């Protein structure tokens, strides 16, 4: 129970990687605040996890909603020890066809949303002089990808944001790290054509795709005191895809 008595906030926790992280944290003793814009799926996920999980509806791109939700969580639990910024979207198009709305929607959700949630949470972490923040980036933020200029820019921004936050918060015993998953089998990747999946598989030395539990295990380590001397790092979890 390495997160026993901890309060952990996971954005985008309704399904996929976020749900796996929430489940893993709960199994290790944490009270999990599962935040998502999808109330129906989010509440079902909380029911499946059990009594240690509580659902909070949130649109992370809405500044007022973020502030109100964080205040409600602190009222309910008195503190927030761990933050996992996992919520994100993709809207893939070739650059020539990408509209300003396509660009802005992804940047606003993935990057600005991460900023808004982090800013509100650290107000409480700084006071308690303790915190663990894990931002879910992507290998695409490191290597780029055709048709994903907006997504790559948002994830690269999260990596830079992670480093800056780590430097600002280290003296307060708050660590900030990022995970850069490779190809993880989720609802988002399931819709890709088989040809695209096979092209990715050829780039992975381990010759298999990852799964949400792989990400959850690393998130657990980075959220625990076992990683207390690690901050400002971006760890690729990709089967060797990026070296």
56 labeled binding residue:
no
19 labeled binding residue:
no
173 labeled binding residue:
no
152 labeled binding residue:
yes
Q: What is the SS3 string spanning the chain?
A: CCCCCCEEEEECCCCHHHHHHHHHHHHCCCEEEEEECCHHHHHHHHHHHCCCEEEEECCCCCHHHHHHHHHHHHHHHCCCCEEEECCCCCCCCCHHHCCHHHHHHHHHHHHHHHHHHHHHHHHHHHHHCCEEEEEECCCHHHHCCCCCHHHHHHHHHHHHHHHHHHHHHHHHCEEEEEEEECCECCHHHHCCCHHHHHHHHCCCCCCCCECHHHHHHHHHHHHCHHHCCCCCCEEEECCCCCC
Q: Is 151 a catalytic residue?
A: yes
107 labeled binding residue:
no
Determine which one of 56, 151, 200, 229 is catalytic. 151
Binding-site residue numbers for NADP(+) are 86, 151-155, 184
Residues in the annotated binding site: 86, 151-155, 184
Positions marked catalytic: 151
């Amino acid at each position: 129970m390495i997160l026993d008595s901890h309060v952990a906030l996971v954005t985008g926790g309704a399904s996929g990687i976020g749900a796996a992280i929430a489940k893993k944290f709960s199994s290790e003793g944490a009270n999990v605040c599962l935040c998502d814009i999808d109330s129906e799926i989010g509440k079902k996920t909380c029911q499946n996890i059990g009594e240690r999980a509580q659902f909070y509806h949130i649109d992370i791109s809405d500044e007022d909603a973020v502030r109100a939700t964080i205040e409600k969580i602190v009222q309910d639990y008195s503190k927030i020890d761990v933050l996992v910024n996992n919520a994100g979207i993709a809207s893939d198009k070739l650059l020539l066809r990408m509209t300003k709305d396509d660009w802005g929607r992804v940047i606003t959700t993935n990057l600005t949303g991460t900023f808004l949630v982090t800013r509100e949470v650290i107000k409480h972490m700084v006071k308690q002089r303790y915190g663990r923040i894990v931002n879910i980036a992507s290998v695409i933020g490191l290597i780029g990808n055709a048709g994903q200029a907006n997504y790559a820019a948002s994830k690269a921004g999260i990596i830079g944001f992670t480093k800056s936050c780590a430097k600002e918060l280290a003296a307060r015993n708050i660590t900030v790290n990022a995970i850069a998953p490779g190809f993880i089998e989720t609802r988002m990747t399931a819709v890709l054509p088989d040809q695209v999946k096979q092209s990715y598989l050829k780039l992975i030395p381990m010759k298999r795709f990852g799964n949400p539990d792989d990400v959850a295990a690393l998130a657990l380590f980075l959220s625990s005191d076992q990683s207390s001397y690690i901050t400002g790092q971006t760890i690729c979890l990709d089967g060797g895809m990026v070296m």
